[in-house]
Amino acid sequence: MHVIIDTDAGVDDSLAIVYAANSSELQIEMLTTVSGNVPVREVTQNVLLLKDFLQLKAPVFSGAEVPRVRKLVTAPEVHGEDGVGGYRILHNISKNDWETGEAANKIVEAARRLRNKLTIISIGPMTNIAKAVSIDAEAMRAAGNIIQMGGVFFGYGNTTTFTEFNIFVDPDAADFVLNEGVRVKFVPLDVTEKLFMPRTIITSLFNSSKGMDSNLKKLLKQATDYYILYHRVTEKLDGCYLHDPITIAAAVNPKWFKFVDSFVSVETKGDHTAGMTLADFRKRKQKGNSEVAVSFDAEKFLLDFAKKVFGVKISSSVIRKNCLRDRNYPKFSNILE
């Protein structure tokens, strides 16, 4: 499968890129970068560093510096000032040899050339995707799949009460893409937060890892430690989520996922709800503008992820006992008691 990975490479993006690079099912055509977790300059340097460690041949193109309409919001508290938990800052790594600003044009060129053979995996804000649609909507509509890590439909968000970060950063881009008739496959928090990686298991995977480049291992370990510390301090969760690797898995093996056809709208104007994704799943007979993942086989994914990223096998019993969880849904029973 020919894929483009459009990323705002922070911590889970970095794990996702490693997972994709080690998945023979995917042929990475290029990696494109966008501001999100950190500004695009930092993102691009992270992707170039990962490319070196992984010995990837795919080109890297930087893209949008700011969202389509509004000011950029980043998340250094989650991913570090450099997006990888301070690894590049600690080692004084700065890369300046990327080709700048061409991401959207390069995405369009690939869409024109590969058409339905191309899958675009967006694991950041949809700013580059929207710009590509504005350049050639027909080519983007002809692409095989656009898989977006984003949105939340059945519970609380991770940025504001009912918003997920990628859509929150640039809701206008997501809204534009959908309104131009470009179908999107959403992998939302409703799915990705059903799998939680405790710190003990992450540590075990790193300690027993086989075949991983030593520098890549150091980068991922420092980045993941930072990511886990954020969850521990803010949510009292001693571990982390794998939002972006799970989204890569939707391309690696779509059979692990159940997608439901729906019409998705994105709120762009609300003072408290900008970035909120809405879908009426009661209207099942209507052809929608999107497909939304509502469940996935977390066990099969994690077995595959551990093997490809760390070179080790994780037992199904460990996964079922420690990694599967219920999401935090709005519940009123405890309030009414």
Spell out the domain ranges in the chain. Answer: 2-194+242-296
Alpha helices in the chain (DSSP H): 11-21, 40-54, 76-79, 87-90, 103-114, 127-135, 137-142, 165-169, 171-179, 189-192, 199-207, 214-235, 243-252, 298-305, 316-322, 333-336
Q: 239, 197, 202, 232: which is closest to 217 by C-alpha?
A: 202
Handedness of CA 310, 53, 65, 122 (dihedral sign): negative
pLDDT at 97: 64
Confidence of residue 296 (pLDDT cuts 50, 70, 90): very high
How far, CA to CA in Å, does 192 sit from each of 7, 65, 116, 282? 17, 27, 26, 22
User: For residue range 240-249, what is the model confidence (pLDDT) as tens digits?
Assistant: 999 999 999 9
pLDDT at 288: 87
Q: 314, 308, 83: which is closest to 200 by C-alpha?
A: 314
Whole-angstrom distance, CA of residue 268 vs CA of residue 262: 19
DSSP 117: G
For the full predicted model, state whether its pTM sits above 0.85.
yes
Mean pLDDT for 66-90 is 97
Mean pLDDT for 275-298 is 88
User: For residue range 16-71, what is the model confidence (pLDDT) as tens digits?
Assistant: 999 999 999 999 999 999 999 999 999 999 999 999 999 999 999 999 999 999 99
Whole-angstrom distance, CA of residue 272 vs CA of residue 249: 32
pLDDT tops 60 at residue 337? no
Q: For residue 267, give both structure tokens.
A: 């709120």
pLDDT at 327: 81
pLDDT at 213: 96
pLDDT at 167: 98
Mean pLDDT for 220-236 is 96
Provide the CA 17 distance to its chain's centre, in angstroms.
10
Our answer to whether residue 243 is catalytic in this structure is yes
pLDDT tops 90 at residue 207? yes
User: For residue range 143-180, what is the model confidence (pLDDT) as tens digits?
Assistant: 999 999 999 999 899 999 999 999 999 999 999 999 99
pLDDT at 180: 97
- The catalytic residue among 79, 91, 231, 243 is 243
Angle between the 214-235 and 40-54 helix axes, to the nearest 10 degrees?
Answer: 140
How far, CA to CA in Å, does 68 sit from each of 65, 72, 83, 289? 9, 9, 22, 21
Confidence of residue 285 (pLDDT cuts 50, 70, 90): low
CATH class of domain segment(s) 2-194+242-296: alpha beta
Report the residue count for the chain: 337
| Summary mean pLDDT of the chain | 94
pLDDT at 99: 61
Mean pLDDT for 281-304 is 89
Handedness of CA 106, 39, 97, 86 (dihedral sign): negative
pLDDT tops 70 at residue 331? no
User: For residue range 309-321, what is the model confidence (pLDDT) as tens digits?
Assistant: 999 999 999 999 9
pLDDT at 122: 98
Provide the CA 39 distance to its chain's centre, in angstroms.
16
Q: Strand 60-62 relative to strand 27-33: parallel, antiparallel, unpaired?
A: parallel
Whole-angstrom distance, CA of residue 117 vs CA of residue 213: 31
Among 16-20, 305-309, 322-326, the range scoring the smallest mean pLDDT is: 322-326
